[in-house]
Structure 1
Amino acid sequence: MSRIGKKPITVPSGVEVKIEGSLVKVKGPKGKLERTLHRAIKVAQEGSTLTVSPVADTKENKKFHGLTRTLIANMIDGCHKGYERRLTLVGVGYRGAKQGKGLNLSLGYSHPVYFEAVEGVDLNVDKNTTIIVTGASKEHVGETAAKIRSLRPPEPYHGKGVRYEDERIVTKVGKSGGKK
């Protein structure tokens, strides 16, 4: 059995969990999420705790035990507190501005780049160089942040580009040739 899968999930107050067969619905102050679970996993709710267990003790069923428990726990945390990812724009003239539901980014190209947010994810800009991605779904927040970073990933010589706030870029040494 999975060590992570064995842990019960406590549902905080203000968060509502409904289990309808293989569909789990979570509703809280930050939003609502739903997910269809694998048929090899069953979820039982007793008061304010959830327990996840495999239907049968086969190797195939055990694969999804810890994963499913973590996915449900992330859904509950997201609906209760929400998730946030911060990106930093590094480079001369690199800046961003909120425009409607998306972002208008100047990333050193000859044209501005417009990035549209997916539903359930909120984009904000702080001090023109910090992008804050927030939402209830950990998957969507991380995926959106990765897509923004991929518009201009940090380059290895000067470190210019879009990077995660806690990311450290190891820069390479440039040319050191001279006349002899």
Structure 2
Amino acid sequence: MEAIIELPKEMQASMQGNRLVLKSPKGESSKEFKALGISIKAEGNKVRISAAKDSKKEKKLVNSIQAHVKNLAKGLEKEYAYRLSIVYAHFPINVTKKENKIEIVNFLGSKKPKQALIVGKTSVEIKGKEIIVKGADKEHVGQTAANIEQLTRLKGKDRRIFQDGIFITAKE
């Protein structure tokens, strides 16, 4: 079983141990792959993924790695972006960015600030009642948006009544 992925002409691929590194004029992105029985070779702007056997397990691994490589390349061409909306009824939620963390203050009137980690090389912009999370790595952008959304998750409350929070509204 073998899969060959053609990258755009301006993009170059290289292997550093188990880590695949993609470079383009817009930036650089990398991911580590540890799969037994799977070999990954980078040749210029092509990535070759091959398996020693043709079993179902190896086919699944090859297809998963192929999808990860395509996501890395797509992220370098056009950044992934998640839009989150800040929703509140009575207590205004204050959201600020501090280094590699997002801080939420006054959620449902609480005094203690809550913090969410910004994963990897993800950038976060706060504009009024909207938060925009951008980056080249789909997994890091999605995890950062999920971290922010999880901070305002309410346990043991009726969501029809307590509708305050920060919610993912769009994925681009």
Q: CA RMSD in A?
A: 2.6
TM-score for the superposition, normalised by structure 1: 0.74
Distance 1:23 1:114, change over 3 A: closer
CA distance in 2, matches of 1:39, 1:143: 26
The answer to whether residue 22 in structure 2 is matched with residue 23 in structure 1 is no
Q: Report which structure shows greater RCO (CA 8 Å, sep ≥6).
A: 2
Q: Which residue of 1 aligns with 2:96?
A: 97
CA distance in 2, matches of 1:97, 1:138: 23
After superposition, give the CA deviation of every residue in 1:119-177 in whole Å (9 maximum; x if it has no partner): 312221011x211112221111111111111111276214321111149xxxxxxxxxx
What is the DSSP-based 3-state SS (H/G/I as helix, E as strand, rest coil) of the residue aligned with 2:36?
coil
- Paired residues, number: 162
Greater radius of gyration (CA): 1
CA distance in 1, matches of 2:44, 2:116: 42
Gaps of 5+ in 2: none
Q: Which residue of 2 aligns with 1:10?
A: 6
Contact 1:90 1:160 in 2 (8 A): yes
Gaps of 5+ in 1: 168-180
Distance 1:71 1:45, change over 3 A: same
TM-score for the superposition, normalised by structure 2: 0.77
The answer to whether residue 146 in structure 2 is matched with residue 146 in structure 1 is yes
Contact 1:30 1:78 in 2 (8 A): no
**Between structures 1 and 2, the one with greater strand share:** 2
Q: Which residue of 2 aligns with 1:174?
A: none
Contact 2:11 2:45 in 1 (8 A): no
Distance 1:86 1:31, change over 3 A: farther
